[in-house]
Chain A
Amino acid sequence: MTNGKSDLKRLSRGDTENSGGAIWHENFRQAINILRSHKMRSGLLIVGVAIGVTTVLAIVTVMSGLDKRVQQDILSVNKPYLIVSRFDPFAGTKDKRDLMRRKKLTSSDAEAIEDRCPTVDRVDLQVNAEGMMSVLRYGNERTNLIQVMGASHNFGYMFSFSIEKGRFFTKFEQDHKARVIVLGYGPAKDLFPHRGPIGKMIKIGTHRYKVVGTMGSRENIMGSISDNYAIIPYTIYEKDRSSKRDDYQIAITIRDGFTLEKGIEETTALLRKRRGVKPGEENNFYITTSETFKEMLGNITKYIGLVLVVISSIGLMVGGIGVMNIMLISVTERTREVGIRMAVGAKKKDILQQFLIEAVVLTGIGGIMGIILGMFAARGVAMLIHFPYSVPIIWIIIAFVFSSSIGLIFGLYPANKAAGMDPIVALRAE
């Protein structure tokens, strides 16, 4: 017997200088135990948090996909470019009537820019009449109302619209006002469901155009709307279709080695002269770059995204209140356990840690499940509305950290309550 005692003494001494690792481990094990012995309520809580995380993650994923899609779609461009128009398309409606009175840009403006600005690489002139839609016919087939725009041969080079069949029209065709047309994916399908379109003559009103090429689908988020267009040389556009509502836009790429700013400077100077702007007067045209456009679109999607994330975070907060509720129940139920642990030497911080770990484990598991579900959900949505599926890794980390923090934040009050118990009172609890 005396031996046993001295054995105890020997074993206990020297072991006790250890760090808190043992307590961490015990607290973690305890959290898993509790989770197992209260499957139902732990499960419900985990599902709640998981749903919250799923929505946040799905929304973020969809938004970032949308952002990419918008950049790809609307700005299908090979190189950064300048765009010259009569006025800022995003100007307030109040000024619009004044702005509409400004002189139109012309093809000779475009030619002058190409000829006289040394930094300018290529120039594309686009013209279309807002709201003027046309029907294209081939034999008995006809399209819906689509947008027919005029452009220069550079359009095909400057914007990365993929040619599906045939080719874009040439400078020769443009200069000779050839009646040639490049069909967007929509009209190409409508008019030539079973035949090859190249070389066929289609009709717009009374004019006949030869199809030289068709475009690939842009699988746009807006469905096929943005596939419903056709492009003809601006020269023939001016001859066949010119109207009061025509609006010209000049797109300019800059030679390698020059900045967009330099291009803006040169173009501005030239256009001020051509359009008779006196020194000190405001420009009567508007130049922007693809970069600012991109940025602006990025901002729009960012704000929409932010609003959605805030809304779905409210869902997560509800989950947090659930955590608090369950942890409060758990603490009350286990008052006596807390008393026992304190009686054998648990410090306040050990008890605090125990309940915090429990809460964080619960929400952390919910977070992981939510991340997995969210990725599936996002994938589903991405497939449904045709855009690139991408889960930003940073958001997976944020989702996990966020859901765990919810456990930490909402677990703090109940855990504090447990840690603040008086051991005697706690031991007496039923």
Chain B
Amino acid sequence: MLITVKGLKKIYDVGSQRIEAVAGVDLEIGKNEYVSIMGPSGSGKSTLMNILGCLDTPTEGKYYLNGSEVSNLDDDRLAYIRNREIGFVFQTFNLLPRANSLQNVELPLVYAGVSAGKRKRIAMEVLDLVGLVDRAMHRPSELSGGQRQRVAIARALVNNPSIILADEPTGNLDSKTGEELMAVFNKIHESGNTIIMVTHEENVARHSMRILRLRDGKIESDKIIN
């Protein structure tokens, strides 16, 4: 299994209140799966994704990535895993505003210590994959929302990670642009990548193979659709 999660909990103490954002999740996801996570607002989707993406650590439970436990790693090891194994796509794109597309896509390679020449070659290749070679020198402010998100996808892909995690990637896009973006995700999936995607839209979710529904931090249903 690529991902194995056992008894996963994320608990927040806000004042006297105790919030179980993730309230005991067991989950297995295999290589080259394409999973959608759905559920009402506040059901813990983002919290779960952040843990799966090693941006956050669980309060309780175990998380195994590629067979090794990552739920108890220190900050530097987590950073290393984010760099090599995870590609994250955010709802709000999260591109560096002062950097152009190429530089944004290169960023994970910088922290992987790849030399400038190779970095550029790989980044251009991935930009080609998302159809943005002609926008390589543009800054995010000079791109449309769909284009920005494609730059973000290219950045997520550039280090050839084990999983692509996308938290509402179409949330800030109109439905037509959203569909175009889904085509890009489908392409990535076809080329052998594993994708986990949070979405509110059934139209987006139907592109995936499997739909997980969360409610109050727990898995409500888990269905294979394709």
A residues neighboring B (CB under 8 Å): 1-2, 4-5, 7-9, 11-13, 15-23, 25-26, 33, 37, 336-337, 339-350, 423-424, 427
**Other-chain residue from A8, A18, A336, A342 in contact with B115 (beta carbon distance below 8 A):** A18
Could you tell me if B111 and A346 are in contact, using CB atoms closer than 8 angstroms?
Answer: yes
Interface centre among B79, B116, B155, B193 (most CB of A within 10 A): B79
Could you tell me if A20 and B113 are in contact, using CB atoms closer than 8 angstroms?
Answer: yes
Chain B residue contacts of A344, Cβ below 8 A: 82-83, 88, 107-108, 111, 155
Chain A residue contacts of B121, Cβ below 8 A: 11
Interface centre among A16, A18, A345, A346 (most CB of B within 10 A): A345
State the majority secondary structure of interface residues on A. Answer: helix
- Which listed segment binds A: B23-31, B184-192, B203-211? B184-192
B residues neighboring A (CB under 8 Å): 50, 53, 55-56, 75-76, 79-80, 82-84, 88, 90, 94-96, 98, 107-116, 118-119, 121-122, 125-126, 128-129, 155, 157-160, 187, 190-193
Q: What is the bound-complex CA distance between A33 and B159, given in angstroms?
A: 25
Closest 9 pairs between A and B when the two form their complex, measured CB to CB: A345-B83, A18-B113, A5-B191, A345-B111, A344-B108, A12-B160, A347-B79, A26-B110, A15-B114
Chain A residue contacts of B126, Cβ below 8 A: 8
Q: B191: shortest Cβ distance to chain A, in Å?
A: 4
Could you tell me if A18 and B191 are in contact, using CB atoms closer than 8 angstroms?
Answer: no
Q: Beyond A345-B82, A345-B84, is A16–B113 a contact (Cβ under 8 Å)?
A: yes
Chain B residue contacts of A33, Cβ below 8 A: 98
Could you tell me if B96 and A337 are in contact, using CB atoms closer than 8 angstroms?
Answer: yes
**Other-chain residue from A8, A18, A342, A424 in contact with B79 (beta carbon distance below 8 A):** A342
Chain B residue contacts of A21, Cβ below 8 A: 113, 115
Q: What is the bound-complex CA distance between A344 and B82, given in angstroms?
A: 6
Q: What is the bound-complex CA distance between A349 and B190, given in angstroms?
A: 37
**Other-chain residue from A19, A26, A339 in contact with B94 (beta carbon distance below 8 A):** A339
A-B contact pairs, 11 of them (CB 8 A): A1-B190, A2-B192, A8-B122, A9-B160, A12-B122, A15-B122, A33-B98, A344-B88, A345-B79, A345-B112, A347-B75
Could you tell me if A348 and B76 are in contact, using CB atoms closer than 8 angstroms?
Answer: yes
**Other-chain residue from B84, B115, B125, B187 in contact with A22 (beta carbon distance below 8 A):** B115
Chain A residue contacts of B109, Cβ below 8 A: 12, 15, 22
